[in-house]
A and B are shown apart, each in its own frame.
Chain A
């Protein structure tokens, strides 16, 4: 399995010394000249096109910018995008192809958590750098974290912690939860309960709903929540489930006189399709694209619109930031040797496309301190937007270092 273990390869295939050298030390061979640095990017493009189309656009924009500035010490970046169709086994196969046949210097991508974990394990086994962009699962950097895997987006824990901070200020004491029935939903609910109970010992959780992902029976689920008579609702559903949940909830008055804290709902991906159904006053994490008017973000938004004829979404920023972080690391390291790149990523600082300043990839657990925006939803015209928002820096929503060390497998 180990693609970079020369002793094995020479022993097994003495005849192919030339190839073996190419495999063993791609960095050396390509260090000179202007050959592109290749990045292998794997994502569920056909399974989740609504989120990953804008994501790829953002990535391409960053790559074009880097290349227009002369690339990495004269070498342009080149990305090979591959579709895993939402299947971890395909992702692992493609990773093998990209590393072995296409000679990519590192891997990036991942949207679904289990795909991200499979790629992380592949990276560990094959000693390849993997920069996870979208997967939210905490396991990726904590319980299953490894030397070769880094993650950009604020994780489930971080987003839940941001919402808990707001929820704790509210008078609501009786909370009910609704989340899709898979790891993301389950751990979001677990963290929300645990952290809110710590911040507000007087709250009580009166019930939960776990509809199957993408197949919510919204009417029955809304009624089941209504029956609990909660004062607050913590929502983790997104995408199609969210749309159906909100429509039934609006019709049946579930949200009236109740507070709702909701994961990711402020992202344009999820807010825009809601259209006029957008509920008022939900506390959400997200991305207030149209109101975020700092110079960096305005320039990015304009460039994105000029290039792709549409406005960026949260996924666009994630794609942009991932490519940018990789480019920043490569400039700093000046090599495509995996160990050097891993060392380069530890503590790496780059400027996020949000325009909110520097983000750091923590050496401690390889999690980036990229944050999210916390605000409230409001219907403006025919679509919902985020109002009263602020940037929540990811660095402030992570558990204490010694806790992280206990969770994360330590080398040696």
Chain B
């Protein structure tokens, strides 16, 4: 009886010792997270670049350290210097790689519209993924344990690894060192100045280039160090980059962008909640960080320790005037394309029709995101939520009510629009990256709902059998249906942009104060625009679902949101032709490359990099400029 009784008691009322150990576990994770997050927050603070490649530097750091520690010339040294020398060398090398990336790529596109640099860093992610696979192969690697820190110590009768104790210490130490750097060195003071007012620092004659390269070196080295220090603790894998990047973004945003103590606090909060959360709710790990972020951002719109940015966002271009009616050549081109899309398909094979229908849905999806990003001036990192809402509306109706396609297509925009109204009510109050990250948080909460609510959504096994009605089963019929609905959707979005509603939307984007002064309710306009975009994305999602025949949580996961973002940025945010071109270019490239080579991510990344460098205003922008010149 005693054994059984002890078990019951320990579950209901965990003993003190386990709570202490669990708190220590949280501290160790917090330190690891903070190391990586500190680099990201430093880079963002100064350059305002949303650096997607930060996770890739973290992964590279781990791989490089693994090679240096177990296979390089340092490994011959063995023991203490072999290990710690390898770790430090790896961090420095990653710093250099980061600086190199800044000098060769990012430096050329600082003047591009906000978030455009995200595209370049995402291309880096793709390139690094394939390079790591080429150099190190697909197998997970285990690093050696750290000299002097092997084994465990006994704390309250429970074993706790020495290395985790070391990690617990290194977080605050690093915070202290960074504080000294920022407050006691000239470089650090200039960095802080640049964080607050970039233009003023430039006006005072500080060489910005050196500053920016320096900050990338520092940030990347921190990411590399964070990765390298995981070596004795975790396996080195090709999925490390994606596993960490979202988490550190959350930490940075929850802490307040650019704030180091904030990042530390946020890492602590998230890690401790996680460590204790799994005792009570083992399944909470999927969504916990996003729940925390949503709560924090709703209560504190600039993160825990972030400050409201002073003055206008730095170096942002003034919005361009509303483009007039499309130039005659463009209109001609549009009509010609439409005529081709109507006349040609009967002569195409099955597969081109499948592709065309996919593209139609993606075009509407990208156009809907463009509507809030371009005229609305609000970025969204979680636009897949509304695409997925549309898809699930169709799928749930089909599964639970056996509703036909027509019902699904009608319900999808309403359902997605309602979700947009609900999420948007919170998101549009915030600005910039905070707002974008809040959309991401809501999208992930929606995703985990689809993932975990198995009785209703089927969980990750999804909902099968979401096929079109009999008359639309033929690929040709389905293509015309897609063309009609997506064409209608894009046309409506275009009408909205040019209607008084769209003008008001642009007004609040370009000059919130003046817009308020002439009686525009900025919040309402943004909120409605958000819901309208969500409804359009919902139509795209439901069409996509009927085209595929099944719906999975992946339809509202992060990669789908990133896809939308990339399509809009690639095409250009200035005009509606941007997302149309961007969607076709991105989806088309991916489809073609994946068939040609296993290294399609590398090639796609390089192509995107080239496009970014040569067409910094997007494909549509480049087209227009050439035409205009």
Contacts and interface: CB of A to CB of B under 8 A. Distances in A.
Tell me whether chain A's interface is mostly helix, strand or loop, or mixed: helix
A220 B29 CA distance: 9
B25 A219 contact: yes
Contact of B346 (A13, A121, A240): A13
A26 to B, nearest CB: 13
B555 interface: yes
Contacts of A239: 140, 237
B496 interface: no
A226 B22 CA distance: 11
Given A122-B549, A251-B151, A252-B161, A243 B358 contact: no
Contact of B598 (A50, A83, A121, A122): A83
A362 interface: no
Contact of B550 (A118, A211, A219): A118
Interface stretch (A29-37, A59-67, A273-281, A325-333): A273-281
Contacts of A186: 454, 459
A13, A181, A220, A273 interface centre (most CB from chain B within 10 Å): A220
Nearest to B275: A220
A53 to B, nearest CB: 6
20 contacts: A1-B467, A12-B474, A13-B346, A49-B138, A93-B548, A97-B354, A99-B350, A100-B351, A114-B460, A120-B464, A181-B285, A211-B278, A217-B25, A219-B161, A239-B237, A240-B237, A243-B235, A248-B161, A272-B139, A273-B141
B594 interface: yes
Interface string A23-53: 1000000000000000000000110011001
Given A1-B475, A114-B461, 15 more contacts: A1-B468, A8-B474, A12-B474, A16-B347, A89-B544, A113-B461, A114-B462, A139-B461, A211-B278, A240-B237, A248-B233, A251-B159, A252-B159, A272-B139, A273-B139
Given A49-B138, A96-B350, A228-B7, A118 B462 contact: yes
A96 B3 CA distance: 58
Contacts of A3: 350
B309 interface: no
A89 B161 CA distance: 43
A229 interface: yes
Interface string A101-127: 100000000000110011011100100
Interface in A196-238: 204, 206-212, 214-215, 217-221, 223-224, 226-229
A122 B10 CA distance: 49
Given A121-B464, A183-B459, A247-B233, A221 B142 contact: no
A96 B351 contact: yes
A210 B598 contact: no
B549 A92 contact: yes
Interface string B80-109: 000000000000000000000000000000
A240 B244 CA distance: 14
Interface residues of B, number: 81
B14 interface: yes
Interface of A: 1-3, 8, 12-13, 16, 19, 23, 45-46, 49-50, 53, 82-83, 85, 87-89, 92-93, 96-97, 99-101, 113-114, 117-118, 120-122, 125, 137, 139, 144, 174, 181-183, 186, 204, 206-212, 214-215, 217-221, 223-224, 226-229, 239-240, 243-244, 247-248, 251-253, 272-275, 277
Nearest to A98: B351
A121 B11 contact: no
A144 B139 CA distance: 33
A220 B22 contact: yes
B594 A211 contact: no
Contact of A93 (B28, B237, B358): B358
Contact of B351 (A16, A101, A139, A221): A101
Interface in B535-577: 544, 548-550, 552, 554-555, 559
A389 B452 CA distance: 37
Count chain A CB atoms within 10 A of each CB in B158, B350, B354 and give the residue with the most: B350
A125 B278 CA distance: 42
A104 to B, nearest CB: 12
Given A50-B139, A88-B462, A181-B286, A118 B552 contact: yes
Contacts of B152: 251-253
B197 to A, nearest CB: 38
A325 to B, nearest CB: 25
Interface in B260-309: 274-275, 278-279, 282-283, 285-286
Contacts of B217: none
A13 B474 CA distance: 11
Contacts of A226: 18, 158
Nearest to B15: A227
Contacts of B139: 50, 272-273
Contacts of B243: 214-215
Contact of A223 (B21, B550, B554): B21
Given A117-B550, A273-B142, A1 B462 contact: no
Interface-central residue, A93, A218, A248, A253, by most chain B CB under 10 Å: A93
A125 B552 CA distance: 18
Given A89-B552, A183-B460, A209-B282, A100 B349 contact: yes
B271 to A, nearest CB: 8
Contacts of B4: 204
B239 A85 contact: no
A353 to B, nearest CB: 22
B11 A144 contact: no
Nearest to A177: B282
